Amino acid sequence: MSRPELPPKRVSESAINDFPHPIFPHHLNYLSTLFGGVPLAKADEIAGEVAQRHTDQICVTKYVTAEFFAPGYQGEILIFKAAVNRTWRTSLEIGVKVLAIDRSKKTTRHIVSLYFILVAETKDGNGKIHLSRIPQVISETDEEKRRYEEAEVRRQMLRKSSL
């Protein structure tokens, strides 16, 4: 659906910096470490929230890639950090970094990083769904600029691998 150019938004306008999620017994696998689906599902919800804050539209997940770096343990708190890395015409990449904090040992570990490509949708007057143009993102800090460049490299790789 053709829409006028939307005003761009800063990364900081939609970012989520420290969403907490405790690791309880029912989040563990047979090895008594965190079941990977737990951070995956929560990260998907959080990525959707960041995408919708940025676009003010319904966004659906098209691709997800994840790399697990370390196990999580019962009693730790997962901290989710999520931000828009890059925008294209109707799609955007949200990066989600998940840390595990053990307050008694005063340690913080990087558990998993995930990259979501979401696509914005709108319904027309007949209830038909169309892909929708989104506001472009303004990357301000060095880290935001680095993530902006890296997102394009990931997109090119995804495109090659999904041919």
- Interface residue list for ligand COA (CB under 6 A): 60-63, 88-91, 117, 119, 121, 131, 155, 158-159, 162
Q: How far apart are CA 138 and CA 21, in angstroms?
A: 29
Q: Are 13 and 84 contacting, i.e. CB atoms less than 8 angstroms apart?
A: no
Query: Residue 37 Cβ, how far from ligand COA at the closest point, in Å?
Result: 13
Q: How far apart are CA 128 and CA 123, in angstroms?
A: 5
**Closer Cβ to ligand COA, 63 or 73, answer by number:** 63
Q: How far apart are CA 35 and CA 107, in angstroms?
A: 20
Query: Residue 72 Cβ, how far from ligand COA at the closest point, in Å?
Result: 24
Q: Are 111 and 81 contacting, i.e. CB atoms less than 8 angstroms apart?
A: no
Which single residue is written with the structure tokens 């979401």?
118
**Closer Cβ to ligand COA, 60 or 70, answer by number:** 60
Query: Residue 157 Cβ, how far from ligand COA at the closest point, in Å?
Result: 9
For ligand COA, the nearest residue by Cβ is: 88
